[in-house]
A and B are shown apart, each in its own frame.
Chain A
Amino acid sequence: MNPVLARRLVGAGVLVVLLALPWMINPYAISTVSRILVFALLAISVNLLTGVTGLPTLGQSAYFGVGAYTGAIVATTVTAVGPVQMLLAALAGAVAAAVTGPVAMRARGVAFLMITLAIGEIAYTAAGRLDPITHGTDGFSGIPPVVPLPGLPPLVIDGLVYYYVLAGFLLLYAVVAVLLRSPFGLALRGLRDNEARLRAVGYPTTAFALTIYCLTGALAGAAGSLWTSAQRFVAPGDMGFQVAALALLAVIIGGLGSMWGSCVGAALVVLTRDYLGGYVAGHGPLLLGILFVLVVYLLPRGLAGTSWRRGSGRSRSRQEART
C-alpha cells in the first residue's frame, strides 16, 4: 500500500478510537487519557527543541508550570472560558521563555541542557515559595470547571473534559505539524544539522533558536492550561524535575524528531507510571527505569526511528521519520 495513504488510514483510525474512548472506558481511565494528551503536548514541545532543533532541554516543565498557574489564575479571577485561559497561558509561557531563553542561548549541547535544568529548578522552587500567587506547596485548588466556549455550560463530567482536552490537543498538534513542514521548520532542522553552515548561508541562527524557544514555551504553556482544566488543581510538583525528565524520556522512547513518536512515548510513560505502577505496589519509577533501559538497548533510535518491517533490519534515518 502507498505509504502516505497507509499513514492517513492509521491517523484516521487513531482519531476514531480517541473520539470513541469515553464510551469504552471508565471515568478514571478517561482522566488518565486526558493526562496523556496533555503530557504528549509537553513532549511535543520538548521534541521540537531537542529532536528537531537539536537543543536538548530539561526546562520545558517551567513554562508548562507557568501556563498551568496562569490558567488557574485566569479561571478563578477572570473567566472560566477555556480557550481564553489557553491563549493567555500560551502568552505567559512565551513571555517566560523570552525572559529566560537568552541565558540558555549562550550555550549549546550539554551546557544548554544544564542551563535549562537550572531554569526548571528555579521555576519549581519559585512556585513553592510564591504563596500569594501559587498558594505555595499546598497547591492551587478551587478552580472552577472549564467552559469550552462562551454560552456553553461548564464541563463537570470527565468524558466531556476529555473532549475539551482532545480538541486542544488536536489543534496544537496540527499547528506544530504545519510549522514543521514550513520553511521555518526546515531552518530548525538546518540548525540541528549544522549551525555554522546555516550562519554561512545567511541565517541569524541565534534569532531562530530564540524564536523556537519562545514558541515551544507557548506550546508548553498552552498544555499547562489544559492540565489545569483537566485536573482543576495545580501544585509545584506538576512542574518539577520529574516532569521535565519524563517528557525527555517520552521523546527518546518515541524517537528524536518524530511527533507521533513523542505522543506514543508520552502514553507509554504515563501508563507505566500511573497504571502499571499500581500493580507492583507503587514501584512505577522502577518500571520506568526498566522501560528506559529496554528502549535504549533494543530501539536506540526510538519507536519512530526503527524500521518495523521484517527482514530490513536496519534502522531508518531520523530524517525519514521526522513527522
Chain B
Amino acid sequence: MTAALELRSVSQHFGSLKAVDDVSFSVTAGSRHAVIGPNGAGKSTLFALIAGTRPATAGRVLLEGRDVSGMREHNRVGHGIVRTFQHSSLFLGCTVLENVLLAAGRRAGTSWSMLRPLRRYRELQDTGHALLDRVGLEDRHAARAGSLSHGERRQLEVAVALACRPRLLLLDEPAAGMSPAETARFSQLVRELPQDVTVLLVEHDLDVVFGLADTVTVLHLGRHLLTGTPADVRASSEVQTAYLGAADSSDLFVEEPS
C-alpha cells in the first residue's frame, strides 16, 4: 500500500541555518500522525515544505506515490494537500460563511464565475452551511470573521480546510490558545473525520497528541529523531533527552576556575 505522504531526505536551509535537515518518514494513509518536538525543531518549516508554501532546498515530497516537490502551493491543494496555519489566518473582512465558500467554491470549480450571484449556487451554499454546522459555527454564519473569538476562529480554520476536501490535512498547532472545552471539541472533530482523510498535525499540547495520534514523529533541531507509536515515543530516552536536556547536566554548572 502506498503511503499517503512520503518525505525523502527533505531539507530547508536558510543560509547556514538548517531548519529542516535531511528528514525522511512516511505517513500511512488514513492515519492520525503527529509531529512533535521542542521549539525550533523545524515543525512549522516542515509543514511549509509539505504544503508547498515554500519550496524545499533539497529532497522530495511524494503524495500517494506521486512526486509533488516541484508543484506550487495552490496546485497541491488541488491534489488534496490542505493546511491550516499556526496563527489563525482567515478572511477577516468576509463573513464566516464566505470564508468557507471561498474554499468550497474553489473545489467546486466556480471560483472564476463572474456573472452569477454567489447566492444562486444552492449546492455550494448547502455545503458551506453543513460544514459550519459540523464545526459548531452555523449560528454565526452571517457574522464577520473579524468579530469571532479566538476559539471560534480556530473552528473556522478547520471548516475552511475541510471545505477544500483534503485527502491529507495538515494541522499546524490547532489547539494553541484553545480552552480545555474547545480543545476537547476539536479533538472530537478530528476523530470524526472520515478514515480516507489522513491527518498530520503539529501540536505542543501532548495530551492532544497522545489522545489523537496513532503514530508520532519526533523532530529535534531540524533532524528526524524517531517515528513510532505513542508508547514507543513515551519510552524513548532519546526523546526525553531532546525535551528535557542532557541527562548529565553537570557540564552546565561547571564553575569557572578562578
List the interface of chain A (C-beta within 8 A of B).
Answer: 178-179, 181-187, 189-190, 192-194, 196-205, 317-320
**Is the CB–CB distance between B144 and A317 below 8 Å?**
yes
- Closest residue of A by beta carbon distance from B89: A197
What's the Cα separation between A137 and B130 when bound, in Å?
62
What's the Cα separation between A192 and B90 when bound, in Å?
11
B121 is an interface residue with CB less than 8 A from chain A: yes
Q: Assess A319 versus B102: contact at CB under 8 Å? Given A186-B118, A193-B92.
A: no
List the interface of chain B (C-beta within 8 A of A).
Answer: 51, 53, 72-75, 77-78, 82-83, 85, 89-95, 98, 101-103, 105-107, 110-119, 121, 144, 146, 160, 163-164
What's the Cα separation between A255 and B93 when bound, in Å?
15
Chain B residues with CB under 8 Å of A182's CB are: 113-118
**Is the CB–CB distance between B113 and A184 below 8 Å?**
yes
Judged by DSSP, the binding face of A is helix
What's the Cα separation between A179 and B77 when bound, in Å?
25
Given A197-B85, A201-B160, A318-B93, 4 more A-B residue pairs with CB atoms under 8 Å apart are A179-B115, A183-B121, A189-B98, A200-B77
Q: Which of B89, B115, B146 is in CB contact (< 8 Å) with A178?
A: B115
**Is the CB–CB distance between B74 and A199 below 8 Å?**
yes
How far does the Cβ of A195 sit from chain B's closest Cβ, in whole Å?
Answer: 10
Question: Of B77, B78, B105, B144, which is in contact with the most chain A CB atoms at under 10 Å from its CB?
Answer: B105
**Is the CB–CB distance between B117 and A181 below 8 Å?**
yes
What's the Cα separation between A85 and B117 when bound, in Å?
29
13 A-B pairs with C-beta separation under 8 A: A178-B117, A183-B112, A193-B92, A197-B89, A200-B51, A200-B73, A200-B82, A201-B82, A201-B103, A201-B163, A203-B111, A317-B146, A318-B93
**Is the CB–CB distance between A198 and B95 below 8 Å?**
no
Question: Of B91, B98, B103, which is in contact with the most chain A CB atoms at under 10 Å from its CB?
Answer: B91
**Is the CB–CB distance between A196 and B94 below 8 Å?**
no
Q: Assess A319 versus B90: contact at CB under 8 Å? Given A182-B116, A186-B105, A200-B51.
A: no
What's the Cα separation between A187 and B109 when bound, in Å?
12
What's the Cα separation between A318 and B146 when bound, in Å?
11
Q: Assess A186 versus B117: contact at CB under 8 Å? Given A197-B89, A200-B53, A201-B82.
A: no
Chain A residues with CB under 8 Å of B163's CB are: 201
Chain A residues with CB under 8 Å of B90's CB are: 193-194, 197
What's the Cα separation between A192 and B98 when bound, in Å?
14
**Is the CB–CB distance between B113 and A202 below 8 Å?**
no
What's the Cα separation between A76 and B72 when bound, in Å?
49
What's the Cα separation between A203 and B106 when bound, in Å?
7
**Is the CB–CB distance between A184 and B111 below 8 Å?**
yes
**Is the CB–CB distance between A319 and B95 below 8 Å?**
yes
Q: Which of B83, B105, B115, B144 is in CB contact (< 8 Å) with A319?
A: B144
Question: Of A192, A202, A204, A205, which is in contact with the most chain B CB atoms at under 10 Å from its CB?
Answer: A202
**Is the CB–CB distance between B93 and A200 below 8 Å?**
no
How far does the Cβ of B105 sit from chain A's closest Cβ, in whole Å?
Answer: 5
Q: Assess A196 versus B89: contact at CB under 8 Å? Given A205-B74, A317-B144.
A: yes
How far does the Cβ of A196 sit from chain B's closest Cβ, in whole Å?
Answer: 7
How far does the Cβ of B210 sit from chain A's closest Cβ, in whole Å?
Answer: 28
Q: Which of A183, A317, A319 is in CB contact (< 8 Å) with B111?
A: A183
**Is the CB–CB distance between B85 and A202 below 8 Å?**
no
Question: Of B113, B114, B144, which is in contact with the most chain A CB atoms at under 10 Å from its CB?
Answer: B114
What's the Cα separation between A293 and B53 when bound, in Å?
42
How far does the Cβ of B132 sit from chain A's closest Cβ, in whole Å?
Answer: 16
How far does the Cβ of A252 sit from chain B's closest Cβ, in whole Å?
Answer: 17
What's the Cα separation between A183 and B116 when bound, in Å?
8
What's the Cα separation between A200 and B73 when bound, in Å?
6
Q: Assess A186 versus B113: contact at CB under 8 Å? Given A199-B73, A201-B106.
A: no
How far does the Cβ of B109 sit from chain A's closest Cβ, in whole Å?
Answer: 10
**Is the CB–CB distance between B93 and A184 below 8 Å?**
no
Chain A residues with CB under 8 Å of B110's CB are: 183
**Is the CB–CB distance between B78 and A189 below 8 Å?**
no
- Closest residue of B by beta carbon distance from A184: B114
- Closest residue of A by beta carbon distance from B113: A183
What's the Cα separation between A14 and B121 when bound, in Å?
31
Chain B residues with CB under 8 Å of A201's CB are: 77, 82, 102-103, 106, 160, 163-164
What's the Cα separation between A190 and B119 when bound, in Å?
17
How far does the Cβ of B71 sit from chain A's closest Cβ, in whole Å?
Answer: 12
Question: Of A183, A197, A203, which is in contact with the most chain B CB atoms at under 10 Å from its CB?
Answer: A183
- Closest residue of B by beta carbon distance from A204: B74
How far does the Cβ of B100 sit from chain A's closest Cβ, in whole Å?
Answer: 10
Chain A residues with CB under 8 Å of B107's CB are: 202
Q: Assess A202 versus B144: contact at CB under 8 Å? Given A178-B117, A187-B111, A194-B89.
A: no
What's the Cα separation between A193 and B94 when bound, in Å?
8
How far does the Cβ of B161 sit from chain A's closest Cβ, in whole Å?
Answer: 8
What's the Cα separation between A182 and B98 when bound, in Å?
11
